[in-house]
């Protein structure tokens, strides 16, 4: 079946540095790519998403890039802060059915 | 986020008992989903629904039953609970692409 691979599983960065999380998807018909943040004991919440007609999208300190040819997309967080510590999930779907295929998650640790 | 709720938030039950987890959304979203998240792991889709009276299996449907008689409600029933069904269960809904998650139900099967 279709799948999404996410790397790394754990990422530890110094506060103020940048963090990059990468995902690769298998379904070439996927056209919607969201990123969710899940803090400990909380529900997942959307932080940014991108559609296949766009190569890059930014929102303050976070950005997502998409390479449709290579079928991969990445989350970039700049100037990391303690509140960025969480688990981040990437996902992919066809907007025709809204069924998300999820990556396994990346635990981001911000070291003070 | 206040538009999607789950009940109960915590539940302890015994092996073999039937348990129903409730999910209610106030946005009239067409699509609703049930996921389970085991400790330290990602989200696995159990069932989803495209509209009232339309449901379909996800990745891990065995042991679960769903129904959707009304757009706003999507209950999940564990017919005969097993210890392997101990997990956190999230309901989600979408009217476009972004999925909005409920607060989750922490289920323990003893």
pLDDT band at B2 (very low <50, low <70, confident <90, very high): low
Q: Do B99 and A45 touch (CB under 8 A)?
A: no
**Percent of chain B scoring above 90 in pLDDT:** 91
Neighbour tally for A94: CB within 10 Å: 16
Report the distance separating Cα B47 and Cα B23, nearest Å: 13
What's the average model confidence in pLDDT over B20-29?
96
Q: So what's the pLDDT on residue A50?
A: 95
A32 in reach of chain B (CB within 8 A): yes
* Chain A residues whose beta carbon lies within 8 Å of the beta carbon of residue B49: none
Report the distance separating Cα B47 and Cα B61, nearest Å: 6
Sort residue B6 into left (φ over 0), alpha (ψ -120 to 50) or beta. beta
| A82 has pLDDT over 70 | yes
What's the average model confidence in pLDDT over A6-24?
98
Report the distance separating Cα A37 and Cα A85, nearest Å: 9
B47 in reach of chain A (CB within 8 A): no
* Chain A residues whose beta carbon lies within 8 Å of the beta carbon of residue B44: 102
* Chain B residues whose beta carbon lies within 8 Å of the beta carbon of residue A46: 98-99
Q: Do A32 and B101 touch (CB under 8 A)?
A: no
At A57, is the secondary structure helix, strand, or coil? strand
Q: Do B41 and A34 touch (CB under 8 A)?
A: no
Report the distance separating Cα A82 and Cα A109, nearest Å: 8
Q: So what's the pLDDT on residue A39?
A: 96
Contact in structure between A45 and A38 (CB atoms under 8 Å): yes
Distance from CA of B3 to the nearest CA of A (A): 14
At B20, is the secondary structure helix, strand, or coil? strand
């Amino acid at each position: 079946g279709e799948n999404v691979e996410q790397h790394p599983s754990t990422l530890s960065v110094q506060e103020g540095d940048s963090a990059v999380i990468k995902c690769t998807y298998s379904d070439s018909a996927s056209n919607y790519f969201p990123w969710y943040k899940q803090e400990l004991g909380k529900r997942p919440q959307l932080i940014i998403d991108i559609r296949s007609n766009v190569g890059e999208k930014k929102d303050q300190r976070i950005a997502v890039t998409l390479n449709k040819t290579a079928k991969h997309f990445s989350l970039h967080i700049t100037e990391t802060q303690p509140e960025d510590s969480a688990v981040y999930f990437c996902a992919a779907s066809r907007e025709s059915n809204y069924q998300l295929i999820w990556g396994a998650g990346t635990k981001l640790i911000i070291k003070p | 986020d206040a538009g999607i709720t789950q009940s109960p938030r915590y539940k302890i039950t015994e092996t073999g008992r039937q348990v129903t987890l409730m999910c209610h959304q106030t946005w009239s979203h067409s699509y609703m989903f049930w996921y389970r998240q085991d400790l330290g792991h990602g989200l696995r889709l159990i069932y989803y629904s495209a509209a009232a009276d339309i449901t379909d299996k996800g990745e891990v449907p065995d042991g679960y039953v769903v129904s959707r008689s009304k757009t706003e409600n999507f209950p999940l029933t564990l017919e005969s609970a097993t210890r392997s069904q101990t997990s956190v269960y999230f309901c989600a809904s979408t009217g476009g692409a972004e999925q909005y998650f409920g607060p989750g139900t922490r289920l323990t099967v003893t």
